[in-house]
A and B are shown apart, each in its own frame.
Chain A
Amino acid sequence: AQSVTQLDSQVPVFEEAPVELRCNYSSSVSVYLFWYVQYPNQGLQLLLKYLSGSTLVKGINGFEAEFNKSQTSFHLRKPSVHISDTAEYFCAVTFNTGGFKTIFGAGTRLFVKA
């Protein structure tokens, strides 16, 4: 069965500190991987995606993520966070089962403190 797990429901961090938001998935088929950000009462904004090629993916707002196939992970990182990065972050995995169903993780709330 396919599943997506975001290991941390909340991550508090001080401004200018580095952060890593973790995402693991389980699948027996090939996958496409995404990270989205959701600000309060807003829709989803795509941060970055991995479709193929280099396993290190750079996105908007200084975020990057690395696809680790052996560990079935796609952790999101930023070397120095800002107050404005406070938001909910969702990892999403599209499973190549022919129907391209996308499953979202439960989300990680990043809270950046001054």
Chain B
Amino acid sequence: NAGVMQNPRHLVRRRGQEARLRCSPMKGHSHVYWYRQLPEEGLKFMVYLQKENIIDESGMPKERFSAEFPKEGPSILRIQQVVRGDSAAYFCASSPEGRRNEAFFGQGTRLTVV
């Protein structure tokens, strides 16, 4: 059973470009969470999704950021018109139905905006 898979591991984007971060949850997991880790800081909650639904997006910036978890395929975190301040590590976690308090984390995607 593969763990939570995130790709790419490293992503470099120029200011103004779009960044797409992908997360494939563990097999059988229907809950996905995205977190952002700024340099020298802890992880900050961004969004919680179930299949085809956003449950809690209270941690998402109001502009340029969006997330989806379609019926088929990975969860996508999209950042439009990236700025230098978006440079961070973005972590995805997943948990199974009925055990939402047990989240397993991916290795993260390190986004660098140049």
Contact = CB atoms under 8 A, between A and B. Distances in A.
Interface of A: 6, 32, 36, 41-46, 49, 51, 90, 92, 94, 96, 99-107
Contacts of A36: 105
Contacts of A96: 101
Interface SS majority for chain A: strand
Interface in B12-46: 33, 35, 41-45
B42 A99 contact: no
Given A43-B91, A51-B101, A102 B108 contact: no
Interface SS majority for chain B: strand
B56 A101 contact: yes
A43 B108 contact: yes
Contacts of A92: 43
Nearest to A105: B42
B32 to A, nearest CB: 13
A45 B104 CA distance: 8
